[in-house]
């Protein structure tokens, strides 16, 4: 087989392989580059004979189209942008994994960035993705200003919000039904005979508000009213958000009177902190205080007391988001924003099972 780059005008620097271009294949077969291009795109006005020759040669030379050149003329980069608040968080890691799997083999590349829960960083990452001209953007927002999202829409780039939404922004949304999460957890605690159920709520996000709302609704449905002091917030900043925050919040809860006999925690790390505080206070789980978390993180089964948790099916969220993204990039006109809610499920373990 002849060297495809023989006689090529530009000599390779050093000894490195220079990628094969359409021009190389064209000269090789005595055709024009346009013909090669047409074959690649499955154009109809190419003879069967020629088509086969071109495809064969492409294979032989392992031709890979130049994305930059293609993007420049077509305006499509075959690139998807994903912004999450934290790659280490199992929920977002799973969502990212599922999205990655969902778009695999479709020719798209996924640029994954993290805002580290900082709105300003999120804004910058979005700008970078805009500069990259990604074809579609998926964002699990760290409470960014809606301004950034408007810029995305103004550019005509499809936007999909994940997990967290905004009241004053109409956009595609894929997430869990957070009210259902709250109802599921609270109903379960009530069902287990808890009388005074507390809630450790999350920060000011749609997620936290939805779960709180579900919590309230479930109690109301049983003619129960939560005490104000039984709804506590964790610190909004940094480390306080996880287990340490849950620990502190629970210490406070346990000192209150009447003492709660069940706690619905915004997420699993908080629940872990809560459990530790309960143990430290010399109380038993679930006999004295039942605990329900949210997120169903891995290895919950291996804890000192296995943790009951609401599963958000992050995998499904990622899968649906990926499908939606693929459908959005392939349609010409912007379509009406869709909302896709995943139904949560309760995974009951020892931390809440009283009988």
Partner DNA sequence: TGCCCTAAAGTTATCGATAACTACAACCAG
Partner DNA sequence: CTGGTTGTAGTTATCGATAACTTTAGGGCA
Q: Could you say whether residue 30 binds DNA (CB under 7 A)?
A: yes
Q: How far is the CB of 14 from DNA (least distance, A)?
A: 16
Nearest to 18 by CA among 26, 27, 9: 9
3-state secondary structure of 158: coil
Among a copy of itself, DNA, none, residue 14 binds (CB under 5-8 Å by kind): a copy of itself
Q: Could you say whether residue 70 binds DNA (CB under 7 A)?
A: yes
Binding site for a copy of itself (CB under 8 A): 13-14, 16-17, 19, 64-69, 71-72, 77, 86-88, 90, 93-94, 96-97, 100-101, 104-105, 109-114, 116, 121, 124, 127-133, 151, 154-156, 243, 269, 272, 275-276, 297-299, 302-305, 334
Other Cβ atoms less than 10 A from the Cβ of 80: the count is 26
Q: Which residues pair with 161 in a beta bridge?
A: 139, 173
Nearest to 343 by CA among 305, 310, 321, 299: 310
Q: How far is the CB of 42 from DNA (least distance, A)?
A: 11
How far is Cα 22 from Cα 43, in angstroms, rounded to an integer? 16
Q: Which stretch binds DNA (CB under 7 A): 19-27, 107-115, 117-125, 302-310?
A: 19-27
Nearest to 337 by CA among 147, 173, 115: 173
Nearest to 170 by CA among 320, 339, 342, 332: 339
How far is Cα 235 from Cα 246, in angstroms, rounded to an integer? 9
Other Cβ atoms less than 10 A from the Cβ of 235: the count is 13
Among a copy of itself, DNA, none, residue 210 binds (CB under 5-8 Å by kind): none
Q: Which residues pair with 136 in a beta bridge?
A: 80
CB closer to a copy of itself, 124 vs 233:
124
CB closer to DNA, 76 vs 222:
76
Whether 166 contacts 197, CB under 8 Å = no
Q: Which of 6, 9, 17, 147 binds DNA (CB under 7 A)?
A: 9
Cβ neighbors of 247 (< 8 A, separation 6 or more) are 273, 274, 276, 277
Q: Could you say whether residue 32 binds DNA (CB under 7 A)?
A: yes
How far is Cα 97 from Cα 92, in angstroms, rounded to an integer? 8
Among DNA, a copy of itself, none, residue 155 binds (CB under 5-8 Å by kind): a copy of itself
Q: Could you say whether residue 66 binds DNA (CB under 7 A)?
A: yes
Q: Could you say whether residue 5 binds DNA (CB under 7 A)?
A: no
CB closer to DNA, 31 vs 197:
31
Among a copy of itself, DNA, none, residue 96 binds (CB under 5-8 Å by kind): a copy of itself
User: Which residue ranges make up the site for DNA (CB under 7 A)?
Assistant: 9-10, 18, 21-23, 30-35, 37, 40-41, 45-51, 65-66, 69-70, 72-74
């Amino acid at each position: 087989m002849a060297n495809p780059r023989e006689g090529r005008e530009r000599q390779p620097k050093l000894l490195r392989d220079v990628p094969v271009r359409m021009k190389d294949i064209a000269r090789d077969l005595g055709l024009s580059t346009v013909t090669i291009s047409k074959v690649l795109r499955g154009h109809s006005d190419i003879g069967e004979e020629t088509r086969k020759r071109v495809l064969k040669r492409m294979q032989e030379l392992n031709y890979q189209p130049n994305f930059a050149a293609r993007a420049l003329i077509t305006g499509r980069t075959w690139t998807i942008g994903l912004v999450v608040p934290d790659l280490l968080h199992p929920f977002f890691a799973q969502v990212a994994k599922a999205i990655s799997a969902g778009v695999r083999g479709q020719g798209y590349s996924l640029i994954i960035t993290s805002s580290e829960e900082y709105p300003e960083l999120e804004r910058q990452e979005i700008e970078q993705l805009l500069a990259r001209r990604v074809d579609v953007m998926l964002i699990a927002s760290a409470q960014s200003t809606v301004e950034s999202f408007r810029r995305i829409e103004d550019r005509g780039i499809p936007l999909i919000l994940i997990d967290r939404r905004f009241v004053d922004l109409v956009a595609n949304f894929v997430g869990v039904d957070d009210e259902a999460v709250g109802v599921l957890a609270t109903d379960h605690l009530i069902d287990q005979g808890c009388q005074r159920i507390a809630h450790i709520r999350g920060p000011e996000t749609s997620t936290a508000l939805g779960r709180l709302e579900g919590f309230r609704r479930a109690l109301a449905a049983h003619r129960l009213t939560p005490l104000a002091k039984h709804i506590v917030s964790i610190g909004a900043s940094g480390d306080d958000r996880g287990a340490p925050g849950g620990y502190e919040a629970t210490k406070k809860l346990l000192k209150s009177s009447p003492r709660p006999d069940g706690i619905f925690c915004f997420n699993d790390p908080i629940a872990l902190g809560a459990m530790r505080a309960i143990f430290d206070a010399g109380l038993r789980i679930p006999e004295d205080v039942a605990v329900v978390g949210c997120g169903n993180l891995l290895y919950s089964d291996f804890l000192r007391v296995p943790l009951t948790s609401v599963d958000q099916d992050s995998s499904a969220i990622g899968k649906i988001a990926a499908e939606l993204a693929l459908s959005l990039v392939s349609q010409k006109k912007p379509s009406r924003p869709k909302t896709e809610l995943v139904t949560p499920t309760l995974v009951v373990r020892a931390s809440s099972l009283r009988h």
